[in-house]
Amino acid sequence: MGKLYPELDERLRKFIARQPVFFVATAPCLTPDGDGGHVNLSPKGYQDTFAVLGPLQVAYLDLTGSGAETIAHLRQNGRITIMFCSFDRSTKIVRLYGTGRVVLPGQDEWDELSAHFPRLGAAGADAPGGERSVIVVDLDRISDSCGYAVPVMELASERDVLDRYNAKKTPAELAAYRVEKNTVSIDGLPALS
């Protein structure tokens, strides 16, 4: 049933591109043994926020939200798993394991990475706003599994609530929100500062 892949081949890339949602999991290490803290699992939407950069590298556009667990965990230990799950008639789950890092607006790689996300380049000044980082992941394990027990569901539409919320805020208001909500993780680890 399950299979390991040496890299993201064309078939896996097409599967990833068709999925309207993906899930990101990270966990902190609060003790020398690597224990402690809250495991974080976040759903991510908007199809134009994920990019395959190469056979062993992916990235996603991280939008302003109510927490910054992924950023805090990556800054602490880098461990991350991304899961894509088919909800249509085909059955498949793809998991991407690796080491992630955070690239913030204004950092050297930002412009190069931004080119992979149409919502940043094409919209220009009309972009919804709210993008707080790009998460880049170097993959060390790529696997799939059957997904036989995953229900079949149809996508009605993407929600535009986050885009509308962020578009109403000025850059200064978004920055203030991030200071209030995204400075530390729920376990007190540094996130955005």
CATH code of 105's domain: 2.30.110.10
Where in the sequence is the domain holding 47, given as residue range(s)?
Answer: 3-181
**Rounded CA separation 113/102 (Å):** 11
In a domain? residue 124: yes
Give the pair of three-digit tokens for residue 122: 């094409």
pLDDT at 109: 95
Give the pair of three-digit tokens for residue 71: 């950023």
In a domain? residue 12: yes
pLDDT at 146: 93
Strand partners of residue 41: 25
Give how far Cα 118 sits from Cα of 51, 52, 75, 184, 185, Å. 10, 13, 26, 29, 29
CB 172 within 8 A of CB 107: no
**Rounded CA separation 126/118 (Å):** 12
Give the Cβ contact number of residue 129 at 10 Å.
20
In a domain? residue 159: yes
pLDDT at 134: 96
The number of C-alpha atoms within 13 Å of 26 and in the hemisphere containing its C-beta is: 26
- What does the DSSP 8-state code read for residue 116? T
CA angle 137–56–94, rounded 5-degree value: 80
In a domain? residue 186: no
Mean pLDDT computed over every residue of the chain: 91
- Give the CA dihedral 174, 180, 182, 187, nearest 10 degrees: -170
Give the pair of three-digit tokens for residue 172: 């200064």
In a domain? residue 191: no
In a domain? residue 188: no
In a domain? residue 193: no
pLDDT tens digits, residue range 122-173?
Answer: 444 445 578 899 999 999 999 999 999 999 999 999 998 988 888 899 989 9
- Residues in the chain with pLDDT values less than 70: 1, 121-128
- Number of structural domains, the chain? 1
In a domain? residue 190: no
